[in-house]
Structure formats: C-alpha cells, structure tokens
Structure 1
Amino acid sequence: MIDTAILLAAGEGSRLRSAAPFKPLCRVGGHTLLAHALYGLAQAGLTRAVIVLGYGASEIEAHLAARQWPLVVETVRTDHRLPNGSSVLAAAPRVPGEALLAMCDHLVDPSLYRRMAQVGAGGGTRLGIDRRIGSDWVDLDDVTRVQSDGERIVAIGKGLEPYDCFDTGVFATGPALFAALRQLEAPSLTEGMRILAATGQAYLTDCSDLDWIDVDDQWALDKAERWRSISARA
C-alpha cells in the first residue's frame, strides 16, 4: 500500500478570496481544507504528506507549524503562477517510488484515498474517477472530464466531448508521471496524463460510490458546507 501523499496546495485561489485569503486555509465545517485533507489521508492509512506550497506559503507553513498532525508533514515550494504539473515535479525528489497525489481544495471521503493507495499506480498512473456524470455537485464548466475504455483512460481534459466520467483529483502515481511531466515545457497534470494515455500507462479506478467535491468557488463551498453538516449529523 502507498504510504506517502503529495498534496498540491500552491494555487492562488482567487475565486475563494472572499472566504479566506489563502485557499488551503478556507474553512469548511469549522476546519481548514488543509486539515480535512491531512486528517483524511491519515484516516486512510497514509503516514507521510509532502505538501507543495506557492501562494501564501509562509502563512500556510505557520498554520502547519502551530499544531500537531496525525502524519509526518513536509513542505516544498514552487511558483504558484506555473501549471500544476510543476507542483508535482517540485515534490518528485521527495518521493522515490509511488505516491498518492491529491488536491488540497478537494474534500474527499477518506475511503477514496484508501482505495487509491491500496490499488497503486500499476507501473503508470491511476486516477480515481466518478461515473455520476449527472451529479449536481460537479461544476461542468470546471471539472476535468475523462473518456475511458475499460480500465484505461483514452482522453482527458476540461470541456472534453465525449466523456463518460469525471476526474476526482486523486491519483496513485510515481515515476512514469514524473517522466511525462519533464517532457513538457509548461508541465500541466492533464498534459502529463495525456502523454501516459497515448502510451497505455494511464489507468482508472472507479470511485463512483465515494463522495468528493472540488471547493473552488463560493458555489462549491456552500455545497461542501451542506455535505459536512449532513455528515456530522449522520
């Protein structure tokens, strides 16, 4: 089982600026998005997280230093103006083998983390996908869409047509993705996955039975608050 996570938290988060000056410190259900991610990863059985910071790095590092966490936490920095693949590459030297790759601004059922950590990268990169394409928890204009063929990803991207599932933002990954990203002048995660898809190294695991939400704007934040409220009462 994978025991290390790469957690991307470098973005500017301008669409959530009214809720928090730095997106990882935006609160949902009384806890920051960063805390939700770290506690969720620990609950899933991971023991180490490499957090990639950019915008507001000093403030977020101060937040991390102010408390104890249920897993080992390390930080690396990148330029928040670069594509997200640059964040992945910033963490790569700290991860010699496979890692779980997750987004700090996604609220995720810890069981989704666990499933992806258990299944592993399979020699390429494996993405947790959601086939609930009619879900009203997803912003169709913003979500990354995926076209699949069995266990393989054949196409991926925002605005993709046709598509049959969504990218949950949780991957089991490793050297194959790092190598693909290093081929790109402006390395984005989607472009890296396209390289792997072209070589048959981009796989998927169905996580349609597990909940997640990309907290990218006020609309999503309101939905996330309702989800956490329902979960707390359950």
Structure 2
Amino acid sequence: MIDTAILLAAGEGSRLRSAAPFKPLCTVGGRSLVDHAITGLAQAGMARVVVVLGYGAEQIEASLGGRSWPLAVETVRVEDYRQPNGVSVLAAERHVAGAPALLAMCDHLVDPALYRRMAEAGEAVTGARLGIDRRLDSDWIDLDDVTRVQTADGRIVAIGKGLHPYDCFDTGVFAVGPALFASLRALAAPSLTEGMRALARDGDAWVTDCSDLDWIDVDDQWALDKAEAWLGTITVG
C-alpha cells in the first residue's frame, strides 16, 4: 500500500477569503481544512505527507509546526502560487523519489476510507489512478466548478470542467506514479487536468470507483455552509 501522500495547499483561495485569510486554515466543524486532511491521511494509513504551500506559506507552516501530528509532515513551497496546480505537484516530485504517492487536495473534506482505497488501488501505479464518484445527482456537487470525467473500461477517456458527456466526477484523490510527473514536466503550463489528459491519451489514466464514500470540495462560502451541515452526519478525519 502507498504510505506517502502529497497534499496540495498552495492556492490563494480567494473565494473563501471572507471565512479565513488562508484557505488551508479555514475551519470546518471547529478544525482547519489542513487538519482534517492530514489527520484523515494518517487514519488511512499514511506514514508521511508532503504539504505543498504557496500563498500564506509562512503562516501555514507556523500552524503546522505548532502541534504534533500522527504522521511525518514535511512542507515544500512553490515559487509562484498563481501558476497552474501541476506546478505544485512537480514541487513535491523529489520528495517521493519515483515511488507511487497518494495525491490529495487540502480543500477537500474526505472520508479517510477513500484515501485508503486509493492507496491500496494505486500501489503499482505508473501513470495515475483517480478516485471517481458516479453519483451525478449529488446535492453537494457544484456543477459549475467540479471536474467532470468520462470513462470507458476502467480508464479515463476525457476530463475537464464543463465536459460533456461525462459519467462521473473527480474526487480530487489520486494515486500517482512517475509518468504523471513526466507528463507535467512536458507541459508549458502544467495543470493537473492537462497532465491527466496526456496520460489518458497514453492509456495510463485509470479510475477507481469511490461512489460509496463521502467527500466535499470546500471552495467557496456555499460549499463551506454545506460542509458545516454535512460534517455532522459523517465521520471525516
């Protein structure tokens, strides 16, 4: 099973600025998003997490360093947090040294069982394996913001926001291997979606169904309100 995670937490999070100056420190259910993510990864069996920081890096590092964690926590910074999120993924590459890693988003509240499922499913991954959700009528999905996915025979056919047709959603949890990093390095503006499209063309972008497990992307006040209400009905982190 994969035991190292990469946690992306570099973005500016401007749509949540009214709730917190730095998105990873935005609280949901009395705990910060980064706390939920790191604790959930530990519960899923991760031994180590590399947190990629950008906007507010000093303040978030101080928060992380101010407490003990149930797994090893390392941080790395991107030079420019305004660049596409693939730059954040590449910033963590040397920390995983070619081994498969779990890749997660700091602003997603995720059932630890989803992290674990992806860590188990992606143990031998070379490109990428994405956790997907086929609940197309979910009331916690923002259709204008979620990344949509079209699949066939266990592989990704197409991926992107506003995609039509589509048969599932991107949960923001991946198992990733060396080929994803290589595909990102080949891009002038490396976004994770474009990297996944390149892998899909090569037949090395796989999916694992996680439709029975809960997650929510906390991107704006609407989602934060949903998450606050929803958190009381599930066990996350």
The bucket for the TM-score relative to the shorter chain is over 0.9
Cα distance in 2 for partners of 1:122, 1:44 equals: 18
TM-score normalised by the chain length of structure 1: 0.98
Question: Over aligned residues, Cα RMSD in angstroms?
Answer: 0.8
- Corresponding residue of 2:135: 132
CA-CA distance at 1:231 after TM superposition: 2.9
Match of 2:232 among 219, 224, 229: 229
CA-CA distance at 1:228 after TM superposition: 1.3
Q: Which amino acid in 2 is paired with 1:221?
A: L
Cα distance in 1 for partners of 2:133, 2:186 equals: 28
SS in 1 for 2:208: strand
1:114 paired with 2:116, answer yes
Match of 1:187 among 178, 181, 190: 190
Cα distance in 1 for partners of 2:66, 2:127 equals: 37
Cα distance in 2 for partners of 1:100, 1:230 equals: 26
Q: Which amino acid in 2 is paired with 1:230?
A: T
- Corresponding residue of 2:211: 208
Q: Is the 8 A contact 2:128 2:204 kept in 1?
A: yes
- Corresponding residue of 1:7: 7
Map Cα deviations across residues 167-202 of structure 1 (whole Å, 9 max, x no partner): 000000020100000010000000000000000000
Q: Which amino acid in 2 is paired with 1:119?
A: A
- Corresponding residue of 1:162: 165
CA-CA distance at 1:122 after TM superposition: 2.8
Cα distance in 2 for partners of 1:60, 1:23 equals: 9
Cα distance in 2 for partners of 1:57, 1:33 equals: 15
CA-CA distance at 1:104 after TM superposition: 0.1
SS in 2 for 1:231: coil
Cα distance in 1 for partners of 2:49, 2:198 equals: 26
Q: How does 1:14-163 map to 2 (within 5 A)?
A: 14-78=14-78, 79-96=80-97, 97-120=99-122, 122-163=125-166
SS in 2 for 1:132: coil
Amino-acid identity (%): 75
Map Cα deviations across residues 82-138 of structure 1 (whole Å, 9 max, x no partner): 100000000001001110000000000000000000011532200000000111100
Map Cα deviations across residues 138-184 of structure 1 (whole Å, 9 max, x no partner): 00000000000021000000000000000000000020100000010
CA-CA distance at 1:31 after TM superposition: 0.3
Cα distance in 1 for partners of 2:126, 2:13 equals: 33
Question: Which structure 2 segments of 5+ residues have no match?
Answer: none
Cα distance in 2 for partners of 1:194, 1:229 equals: 36
Cα distance in 2 for partners of 1:185, 1:175 equals: 18
Q: Which amino acid in 2 is paired with 1:82?
A: Q
Cα distance in 2 for partners of 1:179, 1:131 equals: 29
Map Cα deviations across residues 26-75 of structure 1 (whole Å, 9 max, x no partner): 00000000000000000000010000000000000000010001100000
Q: Which amino acid in 2 is paired with 1:2?
A: I
Cα distance in 2 for partners of 1:12, 1:147 equals: 29
- Deviating above 2 A after TM superposition, structure 1's stretches of 4 or more consecutive aligned residues are none
TM-score normalised by the chain length of structure 2: 0.97
